[in-house]
Amino acid sequence: MTANAITRLAAIALSLMSLLPMTSESAATTPPQSPPPWSMVIPEVTVGRIERLDNVPSQYIDARPIDVWLPPGYSTSKRYAVLYMQDGQMLFDAGKTWNKSAWNVHQTLARLIQTGQVRDTIVVGVPNNGKYRYSEFYPTRMLELAPQRVRQDYQRRAQWGLSLSDAYLRFMVEELKPAIDKRFATLPDPANTFVMGSSMGGLISLYALCEYPQVFGGAAGLSTHWVGRPSAWGTPDKLQNASLPLAAFTYLQKHLPKPGGHRLYMDHGTSGLDSVYGVHQDFIDQLFKDHGYTADDFVSRVFEGAGHSESDWSVRLDIPLLYLLGKP
């Protein structure tokens, strides 16, 4: 059987499996229903251009392709800020995403650059690892603070026995960033290096800032998934829990960067999965205030009626981009 035939059969099998109900028991043995992450083709953009770095090697995590968006007029005679974004498959081209939805970050950022509202910036799209997304995105040092029963259950059911967030961040900081700075005309200092994501991607972005404040000058988490559990485990109300958010709060209490040197943006909607985030985000907001953060350091927004999808994040993307990338 050829490789193409195997790929087609796998796609058919995934389509059929997606028609079956996902119970909490089946979630323990069945991987998430998403396409193999490394099969993605290069996205098409309407403004600027994409440069694909094929299978960037790593000694820490699985090698993967990286898509770098360069704004119109990109030139090595200039220097650019860099925005590292999680779930890179979902950023640019809705026609090539699993749910036909995308952030359209290139359109928003190109407009803001053209109108002079933000500094010249390139975007580095880091794709998630499909089945191991929760392994790479849920912060290990947060999970370590959860009760043993909760921690073991989460590792078994969501992480496939692998907690890879620290390895993932080492890949970003020690391998990917040097490669980007070497290949492109970047401003490599923390004041021009940012990280952003949504849902679990928001959580790992905040973790990146806490673990590497000397590397990242700012972070944004849209619809940050404080409850930790995968949506495959049930409806939003069934995902609600105290143990995992409390573990995150306990970690942040000790590891937030000192105010004054970084910028953090967080938000959430009020519909669907986002409806469970408000109670946790309110606590986080107070935590930041207790640490001395002001509006110059930290912004938290609520978007009434907004849900949990790339389309929702795309509509408000200009707000975190302006906050992080606004000209000094």
Residue 228's pLDDT band, with cuts at 50, 70 and 90, is confident
Burial of residue 285 (number of CB atoms within 10 Å: 0-12, 13-18, 19+): middle
Helix-then-strand count for the chain, H and E: 14, 8
Residue 236's pLDDT band, with cuts at 50, 70 and 90, is confident
Q: What is the SS3 assignment for 266?
A: strand
**Which of these, 223, 177, 217, lies nearest to 53 by C-alpha position?**
177
Q: Find tokens 């972005």 and name the residue.
A: 205
pLDDT for 201 beyond 70: yes
CA gap 291, 286 in Å, rounded: 9
Residues 86-137: tens digit of each pLDDT: 999 999 998 888 888 899 999 999 999 999 999 999 999 999 998 899 999 9
Instruction: Please check whether residue 37 is in contact with residue 129, taking contact to mean a CB–CB distance below 8 angstroms.
Output: yes
Q: Find tokens 């890179």 and name the residue.
A: 88
Span 45-325: which CATH code? 3.40.50.1820
pLDDT for 7 beyond 60: no
Instruction: Please check whether residue 106 is in contact with residue 49, taking contact to mean a CB–CB distance below 8 angstroms.
Output: no
* Backbone angles phi and psi of 178, in degrees to 5: -60, -35
Residue 37's pLDDT band, with cuts at 50, 70 and 90, is low
Rounded mean pLDDT of 156-172?
Answer: 94
Residue 36's pLDDT band, with cuts at 50, 70 and 90, is low
Q: What angle do CA 122, 109, 89 make, to 5 degrees?
A: 70
Task: Decide which of 20 and 281 is more confident.
Answer: 281
Predicted TM-score (pTM) of the model is 0.88
Maximum Cα interatomic distance, the chain, rounded to a whole number of Å? 62
Q: In what order do the strands lie in the sheet with 49-56?
A: 49-56, 64-70, 121-125, 81-85, 193-198, 218-222, 263-269, 298-303
